[in-house]
Amino acid sequence: PVLSTIKYFREEYEEHIRKKYCRAGVCSELFISPCENSCPANVNIPGYLSLIAAGRFIDAYNLIRQENPLPSICGRICTSPCERRCRRGTVDEAVAIRELKRFVSDYAMRHEDTYFHDIVCSKNGHKVAIIGAGASGLTCGYYLARTGYEVDIYERESVAGGVLAYGIPEYRLPSDILQHEIDLIRRSGVNIILNTEVGEDVGFKELRAMYDAIYVATGTQIPQKVNVPGEDLKGVLPGINFLKDVKLYNSVDPVSY
């Protein structure tokens, strides 16, 4: 049994030993709060909730951005695993963590001239290229820029954001909210180069010669098949392709599929 668990759960073992992290949230000695432990971004949830309770909304917003540069987006579309692990839920109901994140993010957006902008370190002389301006690429670029790296993000589409820009309906994630988050990342020193596909408009070898490191964040562009009869028939549209056509090109031609 021991060898079997090591074989099939090796990653969990390594997380416990090397990162002192329990993905399942059952090893209480490895974390302070279940909600923070269950957050993929490891945001200090108890900290920013306490700041909100004290009326320190801008401080709460800045605390969130220490670990997550897209709080306005996550405040709208995050699946909120933290709320499923909230201890308050054992009393009555979980704290509305995601809605509170959205509240302070919207508050900061309305009072942008008052909140503390990101501190960016002096340039360290190193350059990094990032392929893909989706959530992963934008996040990587933001934190690299804050620590002094010169960052260029190459995006083949005409807009930044990846699936955030074309894979989520407008009513769930308004485009102005996404654009505001991208503008803040640009303001930290990240250069986003649109309409440029690596391998077509610029070669990968060329990037290796120009930059000290390359981060590939191309995302999941291929729709997931559901394996039902008829899904390969002409006129059947994958959801992600449909949303992309609507949001980027404002047109859908079912016959073309």
HEC assignment per residue over 109-164: HHCCCCCCCCCCCCCCCCEEEEECCCHHHHHHHHHHHHCCCEEEEECCCCCCCCHH
CATH superfamily of the 127-216 domain: FAD/NAD(P)-binding domain (3.50.50.60)
Question: Which pLDDT score is estimated for 14?
Answer: 79
Provide the β-strand partners of residue 243.
none
- The answer to whether 83 and 94 have CB atoms below 8 angstroms apart is yes
Average pLDDT over every residue of 58-79: 94
pLDDT in tens, 112-160: 765 556 666 788 999 999 999 999 999 999 999 999 999 999 999 999 9
Second-level CATH architecture of 31-110 = Orthogonal Bundle (1.10)
Does the global pTM surpass 0.85? no
Answer with the residue of higher pLDDT: 95 or 5: 95
Q: Where are the domains of the chain?
A: 31-110, 127-216
- AA identity, residue 4: S
| Conformational region of residue 211, where left means phi above 0, alpha means psi within -120 to 50, and beta covers everything else | beta
Question: Which pLDDT score is estimated for 207?
Answer: 95
Question: Which pLDDT score is estimated for 103?
Answer: 97
- In 3D space, the residue among 197, 131, 207 whose CA is nearest the CA of residue 158 turns out to be 197
